[in-house]
Structure 1
């Protein structure tokens, strides 16, 4: 029997844009996903945009009952910045404040601890028109937004996160064209990363100053960089990949400072932003209380096969190539490697190199296409997802036994949700969503997850 400590948080995660639905809902302003869908709907799988999603805004009370049936003692969602502040600043939308207060109260009354994230890829359109995270003024607006959330909901919410996967809106928005504003601009990417780290630290400062008795952290998608071989150049490639992919946000958030090697590399390419000493001091003094970790797959790299073009726009791939390791286990629907041991490696890295800070798994999951083919007697028999959870929990448990201070495990996600450009291509939920009727049906994994919470663990051989 693999048993977890008493009080261990089991639950799931989602985000406002991916579950709430609707720009028309009670005064919610548009965010960049609404705008992008209006401009280029063909880029979204099946031309499905963020308009309906899983209608959590209307159905949250019924959904919370389903959470209880699927083994939740905790749940992570986000607040939609553009719902609370339709312009991104200025007047609060009272209906949004009422909705979130009612949501968090309902969770608490049903014995489900809310974990609340402030930003999940969803910049308000009005602020994006000002330059988004490239504009230092937007950092100040974010600080005001964060303070407002703490002020309105801090009596109910005792676990906050400043950002979800900030490296994603940096890379996908400013290097790879997977997120709005679809730029390839390395100087802007570095500035956006810096302003995001600063915004996070300012939110931490605001929260601590209010003395509400809770904790505030940041959610990072940590993808351990594994070298192809023990050859020094492969090892060097993995080290640099780790600097960009993981340490770029992990170090300022937990240690209050950037890794000097990363700063040197950024400076070498002429990309270092102007940083005022007061802002760097804010980052230094306002580190997180705990850490959220999203883990889906490892990052395998090797030394460059050929010299990079010095005239091309800089990307971290200047220093390494992705390594296509023979024989790896794959989730063919998402194109990601399945490597449960990575969670153990993350646990030990946090233990050994980050002061053994308190942390939790905030996302771990498996997206599968066309799940209806696995349906028997009206229930999706997603044994593949149960096996995925078991393997990752086994390695997580091993890391905890060896002293890593993990307090919880959240899967992605509760009910099948809309997933950015992929829309509903892959389903991740413990609960099936019928897009036409919005009907919810618990999958086999949802019933297994209920047993997991009830037993505070599972039999490893079953």
Structure 2
């Protein structure tokens, strides 16, 4: 069997600013919430931080050459808000503008599309000091920041993504506490969900006003949780999980309302003001889907949401995430039903492996190749079913700072030696090269 994709299928890789750039105190950049979070002992594995990361701020030309060698046709990266507006608002930092313009021009000179994410979690600490995403004023600050980006880079960006994974911002950052700013409050989480949704809508409106009709969307990490048994309680648990994990984000954007199931939930009162839902419910040009694994749930009277995850039997990545490619098809099918024929892109998919440089100087990451191959087979199936899947971005281009795991987990198709910043294309990078070229037989 040969993996075959349409000629215009977009092949990319993805990164995020704090995870790869480094240079945290250069050229006017000021601290983000992740700089602060990393400085607290115990928050990050081994006390790691993004201070240097993969040093892409200085080495992006080297990385672009590797992207070209792999055959990528797009690069998805995030703009660093604390570089462009060091204090979150005010006059833009022109050193940052110049840096990103040169990066974008260099990509386009190599025939690589520019896919820019406005926000991938590195909120300026100055805004966090004023309440962060819990404070509605941050929504307006984001609107201002987005407008500056559209004016500064609108002639170079092929696709815009407003916000990456609102679920992680809200739940991991404000309820579970595993991500910055590390809070544990349901009341805060509910507020953050609404403010993130509203920020997305305001950015889309600003985009239409400044650039007009071009490509802008959002990246959601979607879950279509499977019920553990055919028991009615477990079936209902899976429906509840869809509400809390997906629909609190997708319903307002796609349908202009929050899920009806939450109307009688006193702890889920979103801080909606007049006009908010209309603002959130803007037409988007595509939907980004970040997919890694599936969760299975069962009913639980003890959990306030009414469900809990259960153990799974599948093989796992080095992160202990189960490998569940078939669930990707369920995600793609569900969001297509919800959104109609809006184009879909896999904006993140990949796995962590215990990669090492072999005695031949290569990185033979066979597990990752199998993981990618199985998920790309599902992408093939989705296209053949008529689902509007238009592109695939592997996470990630290069090994990097993996949030709470620090440098313990490697996701890249390019190996980064953190001691000297040398790069080595892994076998998975060559597998992807062959797939893009149309010569990958499985």
Q: TM-score, normalised by structure 1?
A: 0.93
2:73 matched residue in structure 1: 73
Q: Which of 325, 347, 353 is 1:362 aligned to?
A: 347
When the two chains are superposed, the root-mean-square deviation of aligned CA atoms in Å is 1.4
User: SS of 1:104's equivalent?
Assistant: helix
1:196 offset after TM fit, Å? 0.4
2:302 matched residue in structure 1: 307
Q: Tell me if the contact between 1:368 and 1:427 (Cα under 8 Å) persists in the aligned partners.
A: yes
1:311 matched residue in structure 2: none
User: SS of 2:287's equivalent?
Assistant: strand
User: SS of 2:119's equivalent?
Assistant: coil
CA distance in structure 2 between the aligned counterparts of 1:208 and 1:392, rounded to whole angstroms: 34
Q: Which of 304, 307, 310 is 1:320 aligned to?
A: 307
Residue 24 in structure 1 maps to residue 4 in structure 2: no
CA distance in structure 2 between the aligned counterparts of 1:270 and 1:443, rounded to whole angstroms: 47
1:219 matched residue in structure 2: 219
- Please list every run of at least 4 consecutive aligned residues from structure 1 whose deviation after the TM superposition is greater than 6 angstroms: none
1:407 matched residue in structure 2: 390
- Once the two structures are superposed, the pairs formed by residues 152-171 of structure 1 within 5 Å of their partners are 152-171=152-171
Structure 1 residues 298-340: Cα deviation after superposition (integer angstroms, max 9, x where no partner): 0110011x534xxxxx5xxx31011113x32222x21111000
Residue 93 in structure 1 maps to residue 93 in structure 2: yes
- Once the two structures are superposed, the pairs formed by residues 277-426 of structure 1 within 5 Å of their partners are 277-284=274-281, 286-304=282-300, 306-308=301-303, 318-325=305-312, 327-331=313-317, 333-369=318-354, 371-372=355-356, 375-426=358-409
CA distance in structure 1 between the aligned counterparts of 2:400 and 2:82, rounded to whole angstroms: 19
CA distance in structure 2 between the aligned counterparts of 1:345 and 1:278, rounded to whole angstroms: 33
Q: TM-score, normalised by structure 2?
A: 0.97
| Unmatched 5+ stretches in structure 2 | none
Q: Tell me if the contact between 1:71 and 1:452 (Cα under 8 Å) persists in the aligned partners.
A: no
Structure 1 residues 167-195: Cα deviation after superposition (integer angstroms, max 9, x where no partner): 10101111111022222211110000001
Q: Tell me if the contact between 1:12 and 1:72 (Cα under 8 Å) persists in the aligned partners.
A: yes
Q: Tell me if the contact between 1:219 and 1:362 (Cα under 8 Å) persists in the aligned partners.
A: yes
2:440 matched residue in structure 1: 458
1:36 matched residue in structure 2: 37
CA distance in structure 2 between the aligned counterparts of 1:71 and 1:440, rounded to whole angstroms: 17
Moved more, 179-188 or 418-427: 179-188
1:43 offset after TM fit, Å? 2.4
Q: Tell me if the contact between 1:154 and 1:212 (Cα under 8 Å) persists in the aligned partners.
A: no
Residue 120 in structure 1 maps to residue 120 in structure 2: yes
| Unmatched 5+ stretches in structure 1 | 309-313
1:429 matched residue in structure 2: 412
CA distance in structure 2 between the aligned counterparts of 1:182 and 1:47, rounded to whole angstroms: 15
Residue 443 in structure 1 maps to residue 426 in structure 2: yes
CA distance in structure 1 between the aligned counterparts of 2:220 and 2:213, rounded to whole angstroms: 23
User: SS of 1:424's equivalent?
Assistant: coil
CA distance in structure 2 between the aligned counterparts of 1:364 and 1:432, rounded to whole angstroms: 17
CA distance in structure 1 between the aligned counterparts of 2:291 and 2:432, rounded to whole angstroms: 18
1:397 offset after TM fit, Å? 1.0
Q: Tell me if the contact between 2:252 and 2:277 (Cα under 8 Å) persists in the aligned partners.
A: no
1:212 offset after TM fit, Å? 4.2
- Once the two structures are superposed, the pairs formed by residues 122-271 of structure 1 within 5 Å of their partners are 122-261=122-261, 263-264=262-263, 267-271=264-268
Q: Tell me if the contact between 2:399 and 2:410 (Cα under 8 Å) persists in the aligned partners.
A: yes
Residue 51 in structure 1 maps to residue 38 in structure 2: no
Q: Which of 258, 269, 272 is 1:272 aligned to?
A: 269
